[in-house]
Amino acid sequence: MIKEFKEFISRGNMMDLAVGVIIGSAFTAIVNSLVKDLINPLIGLFIGKIDLSNLKLTIGEATFRYGSFLNAVINFLIIALVVFILMKLVNKFTIKKEVEKETSYMKGLKNSIGEAATGSNIIKDIIDTNIELLQEMDIVELEKSLDQAVEWIKNSRKLYVLGARGSYALAYYLYFMLKEFREGVELMISGASDFTDKLLYSQKEDLLFTISFHPYTNFTCQVTEFFKEHGNKVITVTDKKDSTLGNISDLVLTTKNGEKAYTFVPGIVLINALLVKLGMEDKENVMDRFDKLKEITDRFNIYIDK
């Protein structure tokens, strides 16, 4: 029990919560001063000094001090607006720095090579890293998000799968498997001239499924923005909800790639879970398609049978 308590109080989210409470308490005083000493006097220049706290309504022996309530509501709205503006400004200057700290394709591989000790068990180290990343996945939240993703995919006219450079492997895997489930699956590839034709004939009922991890490519961001601007729903698998792609997506599935080594294992697990959920939604038809596919591959000797 003592061990469990020690693990509980040392968990990262518990420490983050403690820091948040402390900073939040200190920040409250700053916000209150900003509202009281700067915002309210500024408003007073235009509407004059109005004290709503004295407004009241008396019915019989009951007194309704609605003025104090209105004051509280106005103060709340002002404080909420100030906090919103401040957080927008803070995020504008900090999000880029936070994202830059995340791992990238070559950085992860570089760390793996540079930090590996001679004679160490490389396979075990990589397996351990992947196990840690899988254990950090928020399974409950991801299950809900996957259910929503399945619903959107089922109801879409066409499904566009987007992934560039390092994320292309995951995108192609999802595309390759999904096209056996249903018609109307398109793979968006950077550098291919026909991607403009795909954008030309896209419709509002289509769905974009983006896969991208930091560093995000211009192609991925631009195509995602195009779909978003044209009213399409966007599902994104990425490393952070509050990121360049996460902020322009309707549904974000987050999975980390690690710092010791860059890995797609959590991403593959996520995609496989999505494929299984999709297959279970229309199990009979999906199984019939698999049987027909087996018949076709056998008929044309697609695979070497030795």
Residue 102 backbone dihedrals phi, psi, to 5 degrees: -65, 160
Residues 6+ apart with CB under 8 A from 101: none
Do the Cβ atoms of 105 and 212 come closer than 8 Å? no
- How far apart, in whole angstroms, are the C-alpha atoms of residue 62 and residue 191? 74
Using CA atoms, how far residue 202 sits from 186, 194, 198, 209, 254, in Å, is 10, 13, 6, 14, 26
Residue-level pLDDT at 6 = 58
Residue-level pLDDT at 95 = 47
Residue-level pLDDT at 45 = 67
pLDDT at 269 over 90: yes
Amino acid at 21: V
The mean per-residue pLDDT over the stretch 49-63 comes to 72
Greater confidence (296 vs 83) lies with 296
Supply 280's token pair: 């279970």
CB-based burial label for 292 (10 Å; 0-12, 13-18, 19+): exposed
* H/E stretch holding 173: helix 168-178
pLDDT in tens, 216-234: 889 999 999 999 999 999 9
Residue-level pLDDT at 145 = 95
The mean per-residue pLDDT over the stretch 129-144 comes to 91
Greater confidence (184 vs 263) lies with 184
pLDDT in tens, 71-82: 777 777 877 777
Residue-level pLDDT at 229 = 94
Residue with tokens 């518990």: 14
Mean pLDDT score of the chain: 81
Q: With a threshold of 0.75, does the pTM exceed it? A: no
pLDDT at 8 over 60: no
pLDDT at 99 over 50: no
Residue-level pLDDT at 103 = 47
Residue-level pLDDT at 225 = 95
**Helix, strand or coil, per DSSP, at residue 42:** helix
152-158-159-164 Cα dihedral, nearest 10 degrees: -150
The mean per-residue pLDDT over the stretch 138-166 comes to 94
Q: Taking the alpha carbons of 204, 180, 221, 196 in that order, is the dihedral positive or negative?
A: negative
Confidence of residue 263 (pLDDT cuts 50, 70, 90): confident
* H/E stretch holding 233: strand 233-238
The mean per-residue pLDDT over the stretch 73-102 comes to 66
Query: Distance from CA of residue 27 to its chain's centroid?
Result: 27
Confidence of residue 100 (pLDDT cuts 50, 70, 90): very low
